[in-house]
Amino acid sequence: MAPATILYFLLTVLTRLLQLSEPLPAAGAGTHCLVHEFIINPKPLPGQQQCKVQSQLDQRIFLSYDCVGAMAISPDVHAGKLNSTKSWNDLFKTLQDLITEIKKLWWDIKPEECASTVARMTCCQKADGNILGFWEFGCNGKFFLRFHSNNKTWEDLLSGFSSMKEKLKNVELSELLYRTSLVDCGSWLKEFLEHSEENLETTAPPTTLAATLPTSKATRLSHRALLLILPCSLILLNVV
Domain boundaries, the chain: 29-198
Instruction: Give me the CATH topology for the region 29-198.
Output: 3.30.500
* Cβ(39)–Cβ(51) below 8 Å: yes
Mean pLDDT per 10-residue interval, the chain, length 240 residues: 45 34 48 94 77 91 80 62 78 90 86 88 93 96 95 95 92 95 94 67 37 49 45 46
**Which residues neighbour 30 within 8 Å (Cβ) at sequence distance 6 or greater?**
126, 127, 201, 202
What pTM does this model have? 0.71
Say what the pLDDT of residue 1 is: 52
Rounded distance, CA 95 to CA 159, Å? 29
Instruction: To the nearest 10°, report the CA torsion of 186, 214, 38, 48.
Output: -160
Instruction: Return the number of other C-beta atoms located less than 10 Å from residue 218's C-beta.
Output: 16
Cα dihedral sign for 236, 237, 238, 240?
Answer: positive
Say what the pLDDT of residue 212 is: 46
**Which residues neighbour 34 within 8 Å (Cβ) at sequence distance 6 or greater?**
55, 56, 57, 122, 123, 124, 185, 188, 189, 192
* Cβ(144)–Cβ(89) below 8 Å: no
Say what the pLDDT of residue 215 is: 53
Say what the pLDDT of residue 208 is: 33
